[in-house]
């Protein structure tokens, strides 16, 4: 059985892109692997979140994860800051992380350029903390997006460096998790390639039906095809991509035929159908999110049991690492 680990920063709500791009795969992963799903609240500190919002955001992500079907019986679901072992291993690994390589990290350079007044040490060592998250459970696989691949590469470097330095093969080489199928990429509603919260083109799992209808209605379209069998422009293709995911094949074929016939004035109907089918997918999830969010006892139980399981696994690694590095108790 392989160990899989995934982390998410608590910075907003899950959207349709997260659901089809990641969650759907996580549900399969938790059946077949030893999975750790955690909320990286320490990582979110680089931008100094408002303390009240930090807690709200962690609760939202936890509730959304559970509502989507991540199962605390099958996977270890926890909050990073509940596992102090991570902080200690982070300290130890920091001694083997060099300024030059940290400064060269793409994400660091980008953030430093965007916020020149907040180039803090935590931002610099962000990849070390992420490596710690992964190595503390000696994970085999980490499902990551393109933007996190360099961090995973650095994690392998730290694992190698540690092994070499202390003459051990203790840490494994974590690699990107390869999903069985192509990842489904949900495009934005504004004609852009990808649904993302920073793009502001999202349908969130917690959006009320009215909100979803409004957003879909506003999605970018035009006057219709300029003739029969013309290629679809990107923003129309995007609507079809989402339709394919949430609707039945005959609905997709129906609108595809309309496009190919060169007919016009059917976008309104298609959007109505699209909104309706998105709502069908998200409504049960939204209802569960709202139930779970308000169930303080359940959230407390999940977080507590998750932390216990995570600490047990992390504690073992940390004890081994201490010994390898020469820490001994008197
Ligand atoms: N850096 C990741 C992101 O911004 C979040 C993260 C933190 C993470 N620790 C991790 C992802 C460990 C995978 C494994 O998306």
Cβ atoms of 205 and 285 closer than 8 Å: yes
SS3 of residue 193 by DSSP = coil
Q: Is 6 in the pocket of ligand 1 (CB under 6 A)?
A: yes
Q: CA gyration radius for the chain?
A: 22
Cβ atoms of 199 and 190 closer than 8 Å: yes
| Distance in Å, CA 313 to ligand 1 centroid | 18
Phi, psi (degrees; rounded to nearest 5) at 209: -50, -45
What pLDDT is recorded for position 193?
Answer: 81
What pLDDT is recorded for position 199?
Answer: 77
Q: Give, for ligand 1, the residue of 4, 5, 9 to mutate: max count of ligand atoms closer than 8 Å to Cβ.
A: 9
| Distance in Å, CA 231 to ligand 1 centroid | 38
Number of C-beta neighbours around residue 248 at 10 A:
11
State pTM to two decimals: 0.94
Q: What is the pLDDT of residues 209-220, one digit of tens each?
A: 999 999 999 999
Which residue's alpha carbon is nearest to atom 10 within ligand 1? 7
**CA of 129, closest atom in ligand 1:** 9
| Distance in Å, CA 217 to ligand 1 centroid | 34
Phi, psi (degrees; rounded to nearest 5) at 187: -75, 165
Q: Measured in whole angstroms, how far is the alpha carbon of residue 65 from the centre of its chain?
A: 10
Instruction: Domains for the chain: give ranges and CATH numbers.
Output: 3-184+295-325 (3.40.50.620), 209-290 (1.10.240.10)
Q: Give, for ligand 1, the residue of 18, 43, 76 to mutate: max count of ligand atoms closer than 8 Å to Cβ.
A: 43
Q: Is 35 in the pocket of ligand 1 (CB under 6 A)?
A: no
| Distance in Å, CA 226 to ligand 1 centroid | 45
User: Inter-axis angle of helices 249-261 and 267-293, to 10 degrees?
Assistant: 150
Q: Which of 130, 165, 189 is nearest to 9 (CA)?
A: 130
What pLDDT is recorded for position 185?
Answer: 86
Q: What is the pLDDT of residues 318-329, one digit of tens each?
A: 999 999 999 999
**CA of 5, closest atom in ligand 1:** 14
Give the residue ranges of DSSP H helices in the chain.
16-18, 24-32, 51-68, 84-94, 99-103, 106-114, 121-124, 126-135, 149-165, 209-218, 234-246, 249-261, 267-293, 296-325
Taken in order 75, 80, 82, 88, is the CA torsion positive or negative? positive
Measured CA to CA in angstroms, residue 191 lies from 18, 50, 217, 307 at distances of 18, 32, 13, 41
Which residue's alpha carbon is nearest to atom 9 within ligand 1? 130
Q: What is the pLDDT of residues 234-277, one digit of tens each?
A: 999 999 999 999 999 999 999 999 999 999 999 999 999 999 99
Which residue's alpha carbon is nearest to atom 4 within ligand 1? 9
CA separation for the pair 144, 88 (Å, rounded): 24
What pLDDT is recorded for position 275?
Answer: 98
pLDDT reading at 181 higher than 80: no
SS3 of residue 161 by DSSP = helix
**CA of 43, closest atom in ligand 1:** 7
| Distance in Å, CA 270 to ligand 1 centroid | 37
Q: Measured in whole angstroms, how far is the alpha carbon of residue 1 from the centre of its chain?
A: 23
CA separation for the pair 252, 237 (Å, rounded): 12
Q: Is 107 in the pocket of ligand 1 (CB under 6 A)?
A: no
Query: Catalytic residue positions?
Result: 111, 194, 197
Structure tokens at 244: 């394919």
More confident position, 199 or 285: 285
Structure tokens at 106: 């793409």
Poorest-pLDDT segment among 57-66, 188-197, 225-234, 251-260? 188-197
Query: Chain-wide mean pLDDT for the chain?
Result: 96
Q: What is the pLDDT of residues 118-169, one digit of tens each?
A: 999 999 999 999 999 999 999 999 998 888 999 999 999 999 999 999 999 9
| Distance in Å, CA 7 to ligand 1 centroid | 4
Cα dihedral 274→64→133→22 (10° resolution):
-20
pLDDT reading at 62 higher than 70: yes
Which residue's alpha carbon is nearest to atom 15 within ligand 1? 8
Beta-carbon contacts of 25 under 8 Å, excluding residues fewer than 6 positions away, are 143, 179, 183
Number of C-beta neighbours around residue 5 at 10 A:
24
pLDDT reading at 104 higher than 70: yes
């Amino acid at each position: 059985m392989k160990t899989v680990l995934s982390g998410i920063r608590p910075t907003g709500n899950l959207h349709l892109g997260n659901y089809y791009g990641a969650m759907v795969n996580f549900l399969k992963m938790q059946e077949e692997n030893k999975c750790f799903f955690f909320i990286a609240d320490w990582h979110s500190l680089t931008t100094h979140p408002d303390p009240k919002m930090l807690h709200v955001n962690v609760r939202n992500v936890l509730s959304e994860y559970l509502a989507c079907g991540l199962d605390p019986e099958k996977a270890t679901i926890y909050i990073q800051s509940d596992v102090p072992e991570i902080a200690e291993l982070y300290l130890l690994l920091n001694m083997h992380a060099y300024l030059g390589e940290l400064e060269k990290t793409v994400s660091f350079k980008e953030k430093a350029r965007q916020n020149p007044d907040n180039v803090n040490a935590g931002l610099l060592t962000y990849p070390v903390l992420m490596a710690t998250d992964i190595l503390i459970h000696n994970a085999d696989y980490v499902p990551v997006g393109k933007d996190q691949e360099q961090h995973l590469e650095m994690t392998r470097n730290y694992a190698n460096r540690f092994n070499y330095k202390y003459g051990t093969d203790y840490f494994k080489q974590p690699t990107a998790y390869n999903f069985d199928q192509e990842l489904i990429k949900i495009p934005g509603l504004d004609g852009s390639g990808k649904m993302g919260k920073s793009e502001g083109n999202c349908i969130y799992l917690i959006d009320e039906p009215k909100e979803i209808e409004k957003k879909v209605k506003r999605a970018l379209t035009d006057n219709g095809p300029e003739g029969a069998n013309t290629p679809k422009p990107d923003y129309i293709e995007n609507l079809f991509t989402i339709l394919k995911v949430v609707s039945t094949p005959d609905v997709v074929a129906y609108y595809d035929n309309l496009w190919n016939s060169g007919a016009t004035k059917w976008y309104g109907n298609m959007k109505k159908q699209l909104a309706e089918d998105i709502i069908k997918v998200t409504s049960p999830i939204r209802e569960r999110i709202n139930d779970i969010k308000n169930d303080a006892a359940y959230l407390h139980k999940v977080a507590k049991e998750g932390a216990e399981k995570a600490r047990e696994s992390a504690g073992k690694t940390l004890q081994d690492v201490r010994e390898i590095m020469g820490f001994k108790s008197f």
